[in-house]
Structure 1
Amino acid sequence: MEFYSISESGNLVLLSKNKTIVLSSNISVNVEHPVARLLDTGNFVIMDNFTGNGSQNYQWQSFDYPSDIQLPGMKLGWNLKTGLERYLTSWKSADDPSTGDFTFGFDINYLLPELVIYRGSSKIARSGPWNGVYFGGIPTNPNLVFEIIMVHNESEYSYWYEPFNNPLVMLVKLNQSGMKQWQMWNEKSNGWDLVYSAPEDVCGHYEHCGANTVCSINKTPICECLKGFKPNSEYDQTSQGCVRTLPLDCEGGDGFIKVDNIKLPDLIDVSLNESMSLKECETKCLSNCSCKAYTNSNATGGGSGCLMWFGDLIDIRKLVQNRESQDFYLRVPASELSMLIL
Structure 2
Amino acid sequence: MADPPIFSSFCTSIVVLAIKEGETLVSQGRKFKLGFFSAGSSKNSFPGIWFVVSPETVVWVTNRNNPLIDSNGTLEMSNAGELVLLNQSKSVIWSTNSTKVLGNPVAQLLDCGNLMLRESNNLGSVDYSWQRFDHPSNTLLVGMTAGWNVRTGLEHHLTSWRSTDDPSPGDYTYRYKIDRLPQLEIVRKDSVKVYRAGPWDGVEFGGLFMEGNTIINPIFVYNTTDACFAFETLKDDSTAKVILSPDGFTQCHLLKSGSTEWYLMYSLPHDPCDTYGQCGKNGVCRINQSPRCLCLQGFTPKSQEERDVPNSTYGCRRRIPLNCSRRDFMKLSQVKLPDLVDFQLFKNLSHEECKIECLKNCSCTGYANSDLRGAGCLMWFGDLIDIKEIDMDSIRSPSKKLVTIIVASAISGLLLVGMVLGIIWKRRMKRRGELNTFLLHHVIKFRIDLFFLTLCGTDDVDLPLYDFATIAIATNHLSQTNKLGASGFGSAYKVISYKSINSNNNRRGKLNTINSPRRNIRHFYASRGSQ
Same fold (TM over 0.5): yes
Show the 5 A alignment for 1:134-145: 134-139=204-209, 142-145=212-215
For 1:247-326, list aligned pairs within 5 A: 247-252=321-326, 254-300=327-373, 303-322=374-393, 324-326=520-522
Q: Is 1:200 matched up with 2:270?
A: yes
Q: Superposition RMSD on alpha carbons, in Å?
A: 1.9
Q: By how many angstroms is 1:164 displaced?
A: 2.9
Paired residues for 1:1-342 under 5 Å? 1-51=72-122, 53-55=124-126, 57-108=127-178, 110-120=179-189, 121-139=191-209, 142-187=212-257, 190-236=260-306, 238-252=312-326, 254-300=327-373, 303-322=374-393, 324-335=520-531
Matched position secondary structure for 1:63 = helix
Paired AA for residue 117 in structure 1: I
Judge conservation of contact 2:238–2:257 (CA < 8 Å) in 1. no
What secondary structure, in the 3-state scheme, does the structure 1 residue paired with 2:278 have? coil
Shift of residue 20, structure 1, vs aligned partner: 2.8
In 1, the alpha carbon distance for the partners of 2:527 and 2:362 equals 10
Please list the CA deviations of residues 280-301 of structure 1 after superposition, one character each: whole Å capped at 9, or x if unmatched: 111111111111111111122x
SS in 2 for 1:250: coil
Q: Share of identical aligned residues, percent? A: 42
Moved more, 126-135 or 238-247: 238-247
**Secondary structure at 2:313 match in 1:** helix
Is the Cα contact below 8 Å between 1:134 and 1:140 reproduced in 2? no
Kept in 2, the 8 Å contact 1:139–1:321? The answer is: no
Could you tell me how far apart the structure 2 residues matched to 1:9 and 1:235 are? 67
Letter in 2 for 1:320: D
1:22 partner amino acid: I
The answer as to whether partners of 2:249 and 2:269 remain within 8 angstroms in 1 is yes
After superposition, the C-alpha distances for 1:225-262 in whole angstroms (9 at most, x for unaligned) are 1122111122125232111233322213x222210111
Of 238-247 and 190-199, more deviation after overlay is shown by 238-247
**Aligned pair count?**
330
CA distance in 2, matches of 1:54, 1:294: 48
Three-state SS of the structure 1 residue aligned to 2:325 is helix
Paired residue type of 1:111: R
Q: Does the CA-based 8 Å contact 1:299-1:326 persist in structure 2? A: yes
**Deviation digits for residues 181-206 of structure 1 (CA, Å, limit 9, x no counterpart):** 01111447531111110111221111
For the Cα contact (< 8 Å) 2:237–2:257, is it kept in 1?
Answer: no
Distance 1:54 1:296 in 2: 43
Code of the residue aligned with 2:323 in structure 1: it is: D
Partner of 2:515: none
- C-alpha distance in 2, partners of 1:287/1:41? 54
| Aligned residues of 1:9 and 1:32 also touching (Cα < 8 A) | no
2:230 is paired with a residue whose SS is strand
CA contact (8 A) 1:14 1:22 kept: yes
Q: Secondary structure at the match of 1:107?
A: strand
Offset of residue 78 of structure 1? 2.3
Contact 1:233–1:240 (CA<8 Å) still a contact in 2?
no
Aligned partners of 1:258 and 1:54: how far apart in 2? 54
Q: 309-318 or 159-168: which moved more?
A: 159-168
Q: Is the 8 A contact 2:366 2:525 kept in 1?
A: yes
Deviations along 1:98-147, one digit per CA (max 9) or x if unpaired, are: 22111110234x22111111111111111121112111011256343333
In 1, are the aligned partners of 2:209 and 2:270 still within 8 Å (CA)? no
2:356 is paired with a residue of what secondary structure?
helix
- 8 Å CA contact 1:209–1:241 kept in 2: the answer is yes
SS of the residue corresponding to residue 273 of structure 2 reads: helix
How many angstroms does 1:172 deviate by? 0.4
Q: Which moved more, 1:316-325 or 1:90-99?
A: 316-325
Cα pair distance change 1:147/1:280, threshold 3 Å: farther
2: CA distance between counterparts of 1:330 and 1:141? 29
Once residues 53 and 187 of structure 1 are traced to their aligned partners in structure 2, the CA distance between those partners, rounded to angstroms, is 27
* TM-score relative to the length of structure 1: 0.90
Kept in 2: contact 1:149–1:159 (CA 8 A): yes
SS of 2:181 mapped into structure 1? coil
Instruction: Verify the 8 A CA contact 2:211 2:266 in the aligned structure 1.
Output: no
The answer as to whether partners of 1:265 and 1:314 remain within 8 angstroms in 2 is yes
For residues 277 and 168 of structure 1, do their structure 2 counterparts lie closer, same or farther at Cα, with a shift above 3 Å needed?
farther
Q: 1:65 to 1:80 in 2, by over 3 A?
A: same
Q: Unaligned regions of 5+ residues in structure 1, if any?
A: 336-342
